[in-house]
Amino acid sequence: MNTYQRIVLASRPQAEVKPEHFRLETVAVPELADGQLLIRNHYLSLDPYMRGRMNDARSYAAPQALGETMIGGTVGEVVASRHPSFAPGEFVAAMGGWAEMAVSDGAGLRKLDASGVPLSAHLGVVGMPGMTAWYGLNRILDLQPGQTVCVSAASGAVGSAVGQLAKLRGCRAIGIAGGQEKCDHVVRELGFDACVDYKAGNLRADLKAAAPDGIDGIFENVGGEVFDAALARTNPFARVALCGMIAGYDGADIPMRNVRLLLANRITLRGFIVTEHLDCWPEGLAELGALVAAGRLKYRETVSQGLASAPEAFMGLLKGRNFGKQLVKLV
């Protein structure tokens, strides 16, 4: 095991992401310096934000460098350590990237208690996506019992947690998802009050039927027509947690048409990045972990096998082909 595999950004997509934008490489495992540790990554998380990083555009984060390991969250096991705080056999969440192994100096690592919840869940409902749902719901939407929240990409890693956490607060949860199978899952397995299939062609009418009392909070993961349709059903003083614009990640601008409703309904909208609110993570992760361990917060995963499958899985994620949290199993 003197080498491992990684995937680097070979070129930047102008629009749709294609296999040629990635390159699989075999590289040598480096010698550890003092203060470093070596992690064998077990799971890689694939997330929509990665599409934005592939652009060479002004954004909240620096673009992914060409020829470098693709950025990504991972969970894995420490296999060697010259760091005083980490020992072989410990499990950690890290930004290990699209790679079988990662060297770290300990910065940003989060030690995992592998006993309570499955290891992979620390990349999903008890990790960044779960915290995204928790923060947007608790710190931005802040709904009262009986109010209605609408969440797009409702069967996804973030959306599924948003609706379930809202139900635990006594709210009415309406999902929007693509296809009957996902919608059935959202209602029957996750307990949402309703879920609208945006692919069925009656988005606005179906949303009106699903939210007869209007919408008090939008947790927006998609943008475009789906967002406009939810805005059209808002009640006065509705709030919007703007989390993602997946529909726009392929380069095309997706305008918002219902701008006047932001004024007419005196809406408060806030875009947010959950990694800028790390002070909330201990409280949120403790709550999420306890809910998962108690079986009160469910999640679903789509797992592709082996690092080489990551580009195909990522392209599927951008097209909504995954069902729940998209992971790559590396070991």
Question: How far is the CA of 155 from the CAs of 21, 41, 69, 198, in angstroms?
Answer: 28, 26, 29, 13
Q: Are 326 and 302 in contact (CB under 8 A)?
A: yes
Rg (CA), the chain: 20
Of the candidate residues 155, 265, 304, 326, the single one contacting a second copy (CB under 8 A): 265
User: 8 near 70, Cβ under 8 Å?
Assistant: yes
Give the nearer residue to a second copy in terms of CB position, either 2 or 58: 58
Span from 53-61, 77-85, 183-191, 303-311 in contact with a second copy (CB under 8 A): 53-61
Taking CB under 8 A as the rule, which mask of x and - marks residues 227-246 in contact with a second copy? x--------x-----xxxx-
Q: Which residue has the tokens 């059935």?
A: 184
Least separation in angstroms between residue 240's CB and a second copy is 8
Query: Which of 318, 230, 328, 324 lies closest to 18 in space, CA to CA?
Result: 318
In whole angstroms, the minimum distance from the beta carbon of 161 to a second copy comes to 19
Name which position in 1, 255, 294, 295 contacts a second copy (CB under 8 A).
Answer: 255
Of 177, 223, 222, give the one whose Cα is nearest residue 200. Answer: 177
Does residue 15 interact with a second copy by CB under 8 A?
Answer: no
Nearer to a second copy, 106 or 248 (CB): 248
For residue 266, the minimal CB distance to a second copy (Å) is 5
Among 269, 280, 290, 303, binds a second copy (CB under 8 A): 269
Residues 175-214 interacting with a second copy (rule: CB under 8 A):
none
Any bridge partners for residue 239, and if so which? 217, 268
232 closest CA partner among 199, 200, 196: 196
Q: Pick between residue 180 and residue 268 the one whose CB is nearest to a second copy.
A: 268
Contacts of 309 (CB under 8 A, 6+ apart): 328
Strands 37-45 and 148-152: unpaired
Q: Tell me: does residue 159 bind a second copy (CB under 8 A).
A: no
Least distance CB 217 / a second copy (angstroms)? 15
CB 72 within 8 A of CB 97: yes
| Sole binder of a second copy in the list 18, 188, 199, 266 (CB under 8 A) | 266
Q: Which is nearer to a second copy, 273 or 308 (CB)?
A: 273
Asked if 251 interacts with a second copy (CB under 8 A), we say no
Work out how close the CB of 132 gets to a second copy at its nearest, in angstroms, rounded to a whole number: 12
Count Cβ atoms below 10 Å from residue 79 Cβ, excluding itself. Answer: 15
Task: Mark out the alpha helices in 10-156 (DSSP H runs).
Answer: 49-53, 128-135
Q: Looking at 78-86, 142-150, 166-174, 255-263, which segment touches a second copy (CB under 8 A)?
A: 255-263
Binding site for a second copy (CB under 8 A): 52, 58-60, 223, 227, 236, 242-245, 248, 253-260, 262-273, 276
